[in-house]
A and B are shown apart, each in its own frame.
Chain A
């Protein structure tokens, strides 16, 4: 959703002379680059609990972040006011990172046209802009959702459903005199259901999150979410912790892509590689997984939670191949790392809000489909596990070691899915797991859940993967 340039200039009460004055102040101590990030975010939320939507609210976050670069060093300050004297004080504070002896790098070519026209693409148009809708109109959706969940499974004892939406206006200007603006929507619906059976309790949560307007709140969405949250509960009540050990692991299509995000994607972020702390720091151009595998970070998927018209440095959103045909071809760059490596920024400079300087972050990270069939991959395993839902993944960037919690899955015995498993961990090493991907199915699925990456700052992302067979990982069990 993109309004006219004047909407953003008026919203933040700035004009070109004032923007130029801020940038000049930021560079006054010898900085080599300065950018301004104005943000106005409005949030709304509703919560259904115990059968009624009895709490909700709205929130406003407004301010400007000013960044000054001096070589690869960053000075950052922000103001919650766009009054001239407050912003100038911030610019002076950020400017202090520089001194007259600092080296100068060039970030982009000066652009006197100030970057117009702005929109290269609008990846998240809103038919029903959140801010133009009454929150009262959203209440029936949550009630319908709860009704559908309860109707689908009599074991449900509690349902908690929430709707959270936000709309963020951003205006960006930099010392190359590029001006960009954007309005980014996000709507997220989450449901947690608690089930009781024969004195035992289980829970399950699911979510959907899109960069879209309130038109997402349809009966079809309520049906989809309610079906999802009750699916697999029989298996959870029956699930066991298997005997642990090293074994083949088949990762189901979709949400298993979080493993790709955590165990590989972070290691491809250029800041870790620039500092030499990533296990992939010296592997550019080398084969890191079998031929035929392509791994992508994509900011261009329409309505996707990770998509961006521009990143938070004003670089156009784009699709970046990190691995092509098994070879590491690109890191994920912000402007600092791109200058360091002498390449173009990949549109991965992202930040949680104006309170943070941008750093390389993922968007929608996924692996392209292969040629195998998912049932064939499962059938090829004598003894292993199939995982369809992970949570709480963690990776050590330097070592490449990762651990993932398996929320649900199945044993594979003689090529068939047998006993359900849960509450176990899978551990492995990122580069080794990539090298051990011996089968990729033709069923890529981008997961629609509300994934949030927590690298220093929170950022909305998404992930996806086709069904993949990894030759061997360590599975923790009894």
Chain B
């Protein structure tokens, strides 16, 4: 189900056609994906879905102007008309001399085959409706619901198994040809349990991987139930400053806004609390955050960004110093800086404090709030202030005492990260951001 030679030839034709009809430069990205999904509910198949998508995206540069266009109608004649109209639209816009394709020196050279990062699983072609159904149903807890631990009942169990293949080819009028192919296999379960008093609690767990053999299916449903049941009997806590440990399932919540603030779009619009921090030590000495996009066989790895610019393994923050802004060709030109890549790809927070797991951290810090999920809240991109609803547990002497309710975590990201005391080594490989369980001292909790 990868793009075939006719489809790739169509993309080349569209590029030539745009150049012949008034475009000065063109970039085209052609994508194709196929997803099959089986949803299950309470021990039975509830839904199936079959989704085949193709899309052709054009970035057109004409007369010093720029526009983006896309269509999923890939008949040649229709596309030619679409391209002619697109060029007319581009020429209506105001001039912007800074718009350009990335230079050839910056674009990827070693991504012509698509599977250079080993993200394609040949097992994908052997998947069948029966296999998918078996995988979705196979680890459900519903058939065993009467044998579950006393103290709660399983009200509902929904699950989804899906597999997909994604293939893309990016070409431009500077001679770029870059291909990315990956398969993905995903399983997830969401359960609702009821305690003896009629209160409902929900829990979710999932896994995803480019290779079916690496998919952790067996414990998924049981983990979702465990997470739901653990919330039974929540109690309020007192407001105050706490050591907070955030488990690896949800720790990206406090790093993603920092990465966004290092993005050129926010910086150029003066809407970033990280403005002016490049080359400066604004985080603690112990904090190093890497971008490792070339990790073979791992979720989220990529050899190039959407402009076709080659990614590279590099430090985003090294020993507390900000080493990189994410600047695509256009934003870099507007800011008068050297372009980098447009976004972080596969971020990894390096270990701090010598703990391997969340449990190790709890044993070290003794008394804390363990955060296992966030419920609402937001952050201010200009100031870095945040306020998030939290779900989790009060921990005493390294052991969980009880789940907490109606609690909020507030602060600002720079202060929070400067109070980092531990970063474990338990990041979930199914996520594109490898953020392990992390601990911060002196966090404001309102409850």
User: How many interface residues does chain B have, given as a range?
Assistant: 35 or more
Question: In the complex, are the beta carbons of B72 and A63 less than 8 A apart?
Answer: yes
In the complex, A80 has a CB within 8 A of chain B: yes
- From A47-55, A106-114, A222-230, A297-305, the one touching the partner chain is A47-55
| A73 CB contact (under 8 Å) in B47, B269, B378 | B47
In the complex, A423 has a CB within 8 A of chain B: yes
- From B208-216, B356-364, B381-389, the one touching the partner chain is B381-389
- What residues of B have a CB within 8 angstroms of the CB of A277 in the complex? 155-156, 192, 200, 202
Q: Which of B1-55 contact A (CB under 8 A)?
A: 39, 41, 44-54
- What residues of B have a CB within 8 angstroms of the CB of A46 in the complex? 93
Question: In the complex, are the beta carbons of A392 and B377 less than 8 A apart?
Answer: yes
Give Cα A424 to B346, complex, Å: 31
In the complex, B296 has a CB within 8 A of chain A: no
Question: In the complex, are the beta carbons of A55 and B50 less than 8 A apart?
Answer: no
In the complex, B380 has a CB within 8 A of chain A: yes
Give Cα A244 to B408, complex, Å: 10
In the complex, B235 has a CB within 8 A of chain A: no
Given contacts A399-B201, A401-B406, A423-B386, contact A56 B271 (CB under 8 A): no
Q: Which of A275-320 contact B (CB under 8 A)?
A: 275-277, 279
In the complex, B239 has a CB within 8 A of chain A: yes
- What residues of A have a CB within 8 angstroms of the CB of B90 in the complex? 56
Question: In the complex, are the beta carbons of B50 and A478 less than 8 A apart?
Answer: no
- From B61-69, B178-186, B281-289, B428-436, the one touching the partner chain is B61-69
In the complex, B145 has a CB within 8 A of chain A: no
One digit per residue, 1 when the CB lies within 8 angstroms of any chain B CB and 0 when it does not, for chain A 188-206 equals 0000101010001111000
Question: In the complex, are the beta carbons of A425 and B408 less than 8 A apart?
Answer: yes
Least CB distance, A133 to chain B, in whole angstroms: 12
Question: In the complex, are the beta carbons of A392 and B376 less than 8 A apart?
Answer: yes
- What residues of A have a CB within 8 angstroms of the CB of B82 in the complex? 60
Question: In the complex, are the beta carbons of B386 and A55 less than 8 A apart?
Answer: no
Least CB distance, A431 to chain B, in whole angstroms: 11
In the complex, B71 has a CB within 8 A of chain A: yes
Question: In the complex, are the beta carbons of A80 and B53 less than 8 A apart?
Answer: yes
User: How many interface residues does chain A have, given as a range?
Assistant: 35 or more
Given contacts A55-B68, A59-B71, contact A405 B387 (CB under 8 A): yes
- What residues of B have a CB within 8 angstroms of the CB of A72 in the complex? 46
* Total CB contacts across the A-B interface at under 8 A: 224
Give Cα A140 to B414, complex, Å: 41
Question: In the complex, are the beta carbons of A54 and B66 less than 8 A apart?
Answer: yes
Question: In the complex, are the beta carbons of B377 and A403 less than 8 A apart?
Answer: yes
Question: In the complex, are the beta carbons of B408 and A80 less than 8 A apart?
Answer: no
Question: In the complex, are the beta carbons of A76 and B50 less than 8 A apart?
Answer: yes
Give Cα A399 to B389, complex, Å: 14
By beta carbon, the residue of chain A nearest B59 is A57
In the complex, B227 has a CB within 8 A of chain A: no
Q: Which of B43-101 contact A (CB under 8 A)?
A: 44-54, 65-74, 82, 85-86, 89-90, 92-96, 99
Give Cα A407 to B380, complex, Å: 9
- What residues of B have a CB within 8 angstroms of the CB of A279 in the complex? 200
Least CB distance, B96 to chain A, in whole angstroms: 4
Question: In the complex, are the beta carbons of A53 and B94 less than 8 A apart?
Answer: yes
- What residues of B have a CB within 8 angstroms of the CB of A97 in the complex? 45, 47-48
Question: In the complex, are the beta carbons of A397 and B70 less than 8 A apart?
Answer: no
Question: In the complex, are the beta carbons of B378 and A391 less than 8 A apart?
Answer: yes
In the complex, B158 has a CB within 8 A of chain A: yes
- What residues of B have a CB within 8 angstroms of the CB of A135 in the complex? 89, 92
- What residues of A have a CB within 8 angstroms of the CB of B381 in the complex? 203
Least CB distance, A155 to chain B, in whole angstroms: 12
Q: Which of A362-408 contact B (CB under 8 A)?
A: 391-399, 401-405, 407
One digit per residue, 1 when the CB lies within 8 angstroms of any chain A CB and 0 when it does not, for chain B 134-170 equals 0000000000000000000001101000000000000
Q: Which of B368-396 contact A (CB under 8 A)?
A: 375-378, 380-383, 385-389
Give Cα A202 to B381, complex, Å: 9
Question: In the complex, are the beta carbons of A158 and B270 less than 8 A apart?
Answer: yes
By beta carbon, the residue of chain A nearest B78 is A60
One digit per residue, 1 when the CB lies within 8 angstroms of any chain B CB and 0 when it does not, for chain A 38-71 equals 0000000010011011111111111100000000
Question: In the complex, are the beta carbons of A402 and B202 less than 8 A apart?
Answer: no
Given contacts A194-B270, A276-B155, contact A476 B52 (CB under 8 A): no
Given contacts A55-B66, A90-B50, A203-B271, contact A425 B389 (CB under 8 A): yes
| A60 CB contact (under 8 Å) in B73, B192, B202, B408 | B73
| B388 CB contact (under 8 Å) in A50, A75, A399, A425 | A425
Question: In the complex, are the beta carbons of A74 and B47 less than 8 A apart?
Answer: yes
- What residues of A have a CB within 8 angstroms of the CB of B51 in the complex? 77-78, 355
Give Cα A408 to B120, complex, Å: 48
By beta carbon, the residue of chain A nearest B96 is A54
- What residues of A have a CB within 8 angstroms of the CB of B39 in the complex? 74
- What residues of A have a CB within 8 angstroms of the CB of B94 in the complex? 52-54, 139
| B446 CB contact (under 8 Å) in A53, A202, A402, A476 | A476
| B47 CB contact (under 8 Å) in A75, A398, A475 | A75
By beta carbon, the residue of chain B nearest A83 is B75
- What residues of B have a CB within 8 angstroms of the CB of A74 in the complex? 39, 46-48
In the complex, A427 has a CB within 8 A of chain B: yes
Least CB distance, B378 to chain A, in whole angstroms: 4
Question: In the complex, are the beta carbons of A57 and B50 less than 8 A apart?
Answer: no
Give Cα A139 to B270, complex, Å: 24
In the complex, A232 has a CB within 8 A of chain B: no
A-B residue pairs in contact (CB < 8 Å), sample of 10: A46-B93, A55-B96, A60-B71, A80-B73, A80-B74, A93-B50, A96-B48, A241-B387, A275-B192, A391-B378
20 extra interface residue pairs, beta carbon distance < 8 Å, beyond A135-B92, A194-B271: A52-B94, A55-B66, A56-B68, A56-B92, A57-B89, A59-B69, A76-B49, A80-B73, A94-B50, A97-B47, A136-B92, A139-B93, A277-B200, A355-B51, A398-B201, A403-B408, A422-B380, A423-B410, A425-B408, A427-B375
